[in-house]
Amino acid sequence: MLKLVILTTTTLFLLAQITSADQHVTSSTCRSYVTLMTENLMEISARHYRDSDPEMTEEKYATYFKRDTTPTRMFRERFGAAASSAQFTKFALTLAYADSPVASGMDADKLRDELNDHLAADELEEAREIIGHILLIVNDIFVEGASDDCSVEKRCLTSTHKYAVSQTLKDELARLKTDIAVEKWEELLGIRPSIETPYVDDQFFTILGTEPKTTSRLSKRSAEGSETVKSNKDYVVLTKREFKKSDTSAELSFAVDCSISTILVEATKQCGGMKVYHPNSTEGRPLTWLEDKLELKVESSKRLGEWSIRSNGEVKKGCQIKVSALSTMGFFLTTVVPKKTGTGYQVIHSTPTPYLSLGCLLDFYGLKRAKAGTTYVAEQVRLVDNQGLDIIDPIKVDTDVNGAVSFFLPYGFDSLRSFRIQVEGTNAAGTKFVRMAPKLIELSSLLIEYDMSEVIIRPGLKVKIPVKVTNYGTEQVIYMDVWDEAQYSSLKPTQSKIGHNETKLFKMFVDVPEDAPPGSFSKYVVLGRTKRSAQSQPSVAVVQDKAPLKINSIVVTAIINSRFAETTIQTTVTNNHTIVREAEIDVLLPVDAFVTNFTMDVNGKITVGQVEEKKKADKIYNKAKQIGVTAGKVASRQKSDRDFRQSLMAAAGDKIIFTVTYQQLLYRYDNSYDYSVMLNPNQAVNHLTVDVHIVEESPLMFVRTPGFAPRDTKYDAKSVADEAPEGSIINFSADRRACHVKYSPSIEDQTETSSFGLNGKYSVLYDVSGQDMFGSMSVQDGYFTHFFAARTLPVRPKAIIYIMDISGSMSGTKMEQARETLRQLINLHDENDMFNVIFFSSGTRVWKDRELVAATPENKLAAIEFVDTHGWASGSTNIHHAYHVGFNTFEEYTELLDEEKSWMNDEMMERANRRKNQLTDYWKMICFLTDGMHTTDWKTNDEIAALVKARNNNRLHIHNVAFGSGADYDFMQQISAENNGLTRRIFENMDAAASIRDFFYEVTNVLMTNVRIEYEKEKVISTSQNEFDYISKGKEVIISGRINQDTIDSATLLADKDFAYKISGKLTGRGSSSDMVIDFEIDPFKTSRVASSKHQIAQFSERIWAFMKVKKLLEGIKTSTTEDELAAKTAEALELSLKYNFVTPLTSIVVMKDADRQKVVKELLKDEEMKVTATVAPVTAPVTTTQYLGGSITTQAPYLTNPVTGGNTGNYGGVYADPHVVLPLKSGVNLCFNWNGNDREVHNLIFHPKTGLAVNGMMVKAPVGINSMNGKDRVYIHTIAFIVPKSNANIIFTPNNITIAHYGVEKFTIPITSQFSISRQGLDFFVYEVHASIVKIQVKIDGVEYKLMIHRKSRVPHVDLIFEDLTHKKTVGKLDGVIGQYYGKGVHLTTSEDDEDHALLRIGEELADVKKYMMKMNPITRTQEPCWFSVSGGEALSKGEHSRFIVDSLESKPKYETTTTTSATTTTVSPEDPASNDDSLKSHHSVLTALFKEK
């Protein structure tokens, strides 16, 4: 007897609600994982179409969003009901159901490589699944070994996980968008429109387009320029039937509902003649022959009800009929089985087996689009075989199928019958609908079980994995095999006879070769088959790193002197293996720390790293690699926080001690200093200790430690207990000016949360007592450090209006973070503070109209309720109106302007005076947050800024947060700067809410402003910084200075008169109600508590000065406005970095043995000598000149006075290799990208319309086997042609010949066998170096230089090209072509504050994401230069698509057209049109022009 449990729910993701066979749990407090995925994908898709639609003008955009349209609503308007696109639904569900394949070792970067491979092969299903894996692995959730709450059936996320997963999804899709074509990206998301295509068997999901009236842009982008595109509908299966035996006649019925527009009937030739009948019809429509099958496609024409198919005669055995329909309604089927361990279910990746539990989940989509107001109700689910017969009784469900339906079979099936899932129901009008899963669910008599999750596979290791096979069929021979992508596996035995209900054990062997790259992974599929049944069981395994060497000990010693911390991490490793192994040190550094020392002690032999200037370090390191010398290089932070990693090869038995030292300055925040050291040894360590020695000049108020915690944890010192947690000890000195904190975790402590040991940070929080009004001093050896925190000053009361953006772009995570920020800021107010809250989008929502209220507990609660009720995103962004309402609210609390007084009556004036007097001593501020740009009208940024400045009239401080990458930071900064405020850019991440809160709290809890600290100029000769805009509550300013040595020397001679030799100082600033002046003195002979301690950093006071000086100079380098200023600051920063051994962005540490270093230096000196010799060597050769019609050929290599063979290549761009394009657009900005083509295609590289000059290149495809890293075919430039009208000549360069075609003269070809040159009318070229494999040529056209290197013996013979700066005066005017299009335009680079390796590059009006990259070596100059890489192949910045630059032949000119838009008309100008003068064309300024105008 088959038992059945039925579960139904209206949520989209039912799997999250199943906990057992007979229990149904719902949760109203959490959103399901699949809903989160769907909403995020909808938001990403909507933003994509908003940003990329060329017809979405700013005016249209503003009008569109006046309707309070959120991204999800915009998505629905474009694509119908939420997730009505089947491919889109499938993507969301794939992300939701994805299982992390292994417990550990899976590298997200490796997954991304695999993802790119699948996309290149158009394997979207696999690509989507890998994205799901990446979300899990990057955020450490849903992996083996995680808690039960993170299992697949309980994916209701915490807020932290929501933020993390949402942000990761956005980041991954944003990365992909720059890496692949836009069309491919849209197809991946399931939003790619295409024309209607025939139904393909068992391909359930086929995304079609949207209606033209919804967006004409999609129609234009549809395949083959189709003018009409169907609505967002998919072919779904209505019924399928197979006839096992012949019959005299056959009939099949099916239901047509109002969501169906087209019906497709297919039948095999065994069915004979067939006709289709719609309701109440007597004349059927016959099926017609199409290749080897019968087919009929008919429009439903709203003939709803029961249709039928009838045969005209005998139906033969094997007849198969399938009825599918173009419909907006369908479902996505997922099968699940119980988890092997614990409770709950997991998605099944193999064939179900009889007698075992099975669950089916049916997620419906698209019903809201079917018909407005129509509600479809699923009444029953049927499991039918190929003949349409029920294999079990129909399952009654009775639920609105806008959500999901599921059923669960606790005991599975008692036979091997195959079946399809069929859902039947009706709508409110009584119309019946039927949907069938297209794929047949076949049961197998075999059950295959094995577990790869606990298996560790490593290079050089062979492992054995037991495989259990159970046969539920009759006794028979079972044939077994295993397949894996990497071909590491085998299975024994390959066959065995297994009885009914019997289980036998097989063995799978995985033999990983030594050269297998760690982090690579392979899919494994164990296959079993009998004569009548088959089974497969997939899994994934990762090649992990070779077992790391055993770490004997980690000893961390930190010394903190006057807030300056020096941390030394000593790691001892022993190679206990019998072979050579790699020993590695991996240290996570604080963001602003400088590494100062790195040593390696191998069996008592010590190697010390030397700090070198970065370019010199690069030369040493590269030369060491070239000559085979072992060397290591440590550079400053680039992208990753795991930025200090070094390794060396250790022989068997070697004992290695790595020692890393870094220094940092601790800053006071929230009334405490936070020292943290990061530890991640990736194993438990027998001897691990952390010793922190604190020595301060002033008594320590407290020292506390919260113990070990995850790296991102932040602490409030007030919430940490004075008592040390288990494993830690805190001991104070008698005078309480020193403290020792010791942490010694046991093995049990280290492995409490992970068998891999500790992974996080150990923190110590402390504060010092403030005794003097001017702060405290630390003096040593002629250097001093001055700390000032204004501890004794009261916090000035404040009146604040919080103005927060709630436009549609804030929806999702950003809105949640903004609400959380407001809640915390409101709760932090003192009772005497006054405040109000304003939300804005298209309009505004004000908590208290034109009023400020006291921050009483009751008002705080009411304000938070307002935030929770109204803080939801929708609408457009009206920045000007938001400020206007803020000024209206503050109006009566400030000094009124004349225009404000003009409309007030006496009563209003009296109230305004009363309110103004009430807030006389208050700070008055607006805290403003937005994530976008002003969109509701045509006011420019400058106009809005001017209006804000005039209305404010210096009455309020305006502090702005530009939230996210889409915010206009420059605009926000302009408003703050003009209104006595500050601006902070905060990007979207998990800590965004805390960052916003901290910034607003800091700028609104000000103790002093305009702080200036001065010292006697003749006695103090250098300070790090002495002016500060403000000092906030809980924070501290630090000034480090150097005392004039003459002062010290004179004072030493007259030490008994030390009063006369103290150094006077003055601190000035504005307090809460008045100006402050504090006089103080520095005693250069003061006895230092730090100097007398045994825990002392050598020259600590001097090093603090140097540290702060270098930091200040590095900041100044970024803001330098002249070349001289930049050079001076760079030189000084480099000098100090080298003197004090700091690894900064200007320096690197190079680690190698002394003998090896001497060898490398000798080799570098040889290179320099050879370079000098090559430069001065004379060129002598016999000269032979041959005259020809139009010019002369000289068979001598020309003497090149300055050949480009090395050194500075800043003025040269290039196209070389396969093909790699490098373009120096302006000083410090090199653009690079890859440009691809097809075999024999000719591309225009450069075109100068004014002179007609054209440079064309013909592509050639590499032979089979020479593929790029992503598996795609490589292409090279085989031939380059110069079309030079001014010289009446075309010149074509191939790997073996040069062809010259003068206009009106027959072409002639010269083989390249020797040196020669040709000159004619402004055209010169010189073949100056000829070898069997390499030829070098210099071409000059009108004084502009081009160089060619021809590779004749390469696997793919090709031509490399470099060229002089194309902004040359001879090329003045507009350029075009693959290369030329980027020159002669404004170039603006905006780097990310959070990640300096990513930036936005604008060229003209085109904008693209770029990332820092080291370009391939220039084959002619033999140098590498950094560049900004456009992963979109330059197309994001290009004038047009790839096909735009294809020309008919090597000697053809391109036929470009330029479109010029004015306010009233659009004019197309041909390049040959004399009216196309650049100066005469005035283009309409878009938002991009306003945002990224040249400074």
Q: Amino acid letter at 526?
A: V
Q: How far apart are CA 709 and CA 692, in angstroms?
A: 17
pLDDT of residue 1167: 73
Confidence of residue 65 (pLDDT cuts 50, 70, 90): very low
Confidence of residue 1209 (pLDDT cuts 50, 70, 90): very low
- Claim: this prediction has a pTM higher than 0.75: no
Residue 474 clears pLDDT 80, i.e. is over it: yes
The model's pLDDT over 134-180, given as tens digits with 9 standing for 90+, comes to 887 777 665 444 444 444 444 555 555 666 777 788 888 888 887 78
Residue with tokens 């973070």: 817
Residue 1334 clears pLDDT 50, i.e. is over it: yes
pLDDT of residue 1462: 36
Buried residues in 597-634 as b, exposed as e (16+ CB within 10 A): bbebbbeeeebebbbbebeebbbbbebbeeeebebbbb
What angle do the packed helices 86-97 and 182-189 form, to 10 degrees?
Answer: 70
Across the beta sheet with 260-268, the strand order is 288-290, 293-299, 260-268, 320-327, 234-242, 432-436, 420-427, 376-384, 395-400
Torsion of Cα atoms, 458 then 459 then 461 then 462, to 10°: 90
The model's pLDDT over 765-783, given as tens digits with 9 standing for 90+, comes to 999 986 666 677 778 778 8
Across the beta sheet with 251-256, the strand order is 251-256, 305-311, 274-277, 285-286
**What is the percent of the chain where pLDDT is above 70?**
75
More confident residue, 1075 or 1446: 1446
- Return the structure tokens found at 576: 């206990």
- DSSP secondary structure string for all residues of 221-290: TSGGG-S----S-EEEEEEEEE-SS-BS--EEEEEE-TTEEEEEEEEEGGG-SEEEE-TT-SSPEEPEEE
pLDDT of residue 211: 27
Q: Among 174-183, 396-405, 529-538, 670-679, name the most confident range.
A: 670-679
The model's pLDDT over 248-262, given as tens digits with 9 standing for 90+, comes to 878 888 888 777 777
More confident residue, 24 or 1022: 1022
pLDDT of residue 289: 66
Averaged pLDDT of the chain: 75
Q: What is the mean pLDDT of residues 1123-1133?
A: 85
The candidate with the shortest Cα–Cα distance to 856, out of 838, 829, 836, 837, is 829
Omega before 493 within 30 of 0, i.e. cis = yes
More confident residue, 1212 or 1446: 1446
pLDDT of residue 142: 53
Q: What is the mean pLDDT of residues 720-732?
A: 92
Residue 984 clears pLDDT 80, i.e. is over it: yes
More confident residue, 681 or 334: 681
The model's pLDDT over 737-754, given as tens digits with 9 standing for 90+, comes to 999 999 999 998 888 877
Residue 705 clears pLDDT 90, i.e. is over it: yes
Q: What is the mean pLDDT of residues 534-557?
A: 81
pLDDT of residue 569: 93
pLDDT of residue 1194: 56
**What is the percent of the chain where pLDDT is above 90?**
13
Confidence of residue 1206 (pLDDT cuts 50, 70, 90): very low
Buried residues in 286-325 as b, exposed as e (16+ CB within 10 A): ebeeeeeebbbeeebeeebeebebebeeebeeebebbbbb
Burial of 490 (0-12, 13-18, 19+ CB in 10 A): middle
- Please state the φ and ψ torsions of residue 1045, each to the nearest 5 degrees: -60, -30
Pairing of strands 288-290, 251-256: unpaired
**1185-1193: long-range pairs with CB below 8 Å, 24+:** 1188/1308, 1189/1302, 1189/1305, 1190/1288, 1190/1289, 1190/1302, 1190/1305, 1190/1320, 1191/1302, 1191/1318, 1191/1319, 1191/1320, 1191/1321, 1192/1318, 1192/1319, 1192/1320, 1193/1310, 1193/1316, 1193/1317, 1193/1318
Query: Is 1326:1341 a contact under the CB 8 Å cutoff?
Result: no
Ranges 30-34, 302-306, 1262-1266: which has the least confidence = 30-34
Residue 16 clears pLDDT 50, i.e. is over it: no
pLDDT of residue 643: 57
pLDDT of residue 286: 83
pLDDT of residue 148: 41
pLDDT of residue 1417: 67
The model's pLDDT over 336-366, given as tens digits with 9 standing for 90+, comes to 777 665 556 677 777 888 877 888 877 776 5
More confident residue, 1069 or 1269: 1069
Q: How far apart are CA 273 and CA 1255, in angstroms?
A: 64
pLDDT of residue 586: 76
More confident residue, 139 or 973: 973
The model's pLDDT over 1350-1384, given as tens digits with 9 standing for 90+, comes to 988 777 889 998 887 776 545 555 788 988 888 87
Q: Show the DSSP H helices in 103-158 as ranges.
A: 108-120, 124-138
The model's pLDDT over 1011-1038, given as tens digits with 9 standing for 90+, comes to 888 888 888 888 888 888 778 877 788 8
Residue 758 clears pLDDT 50, i.e. is over it: yes
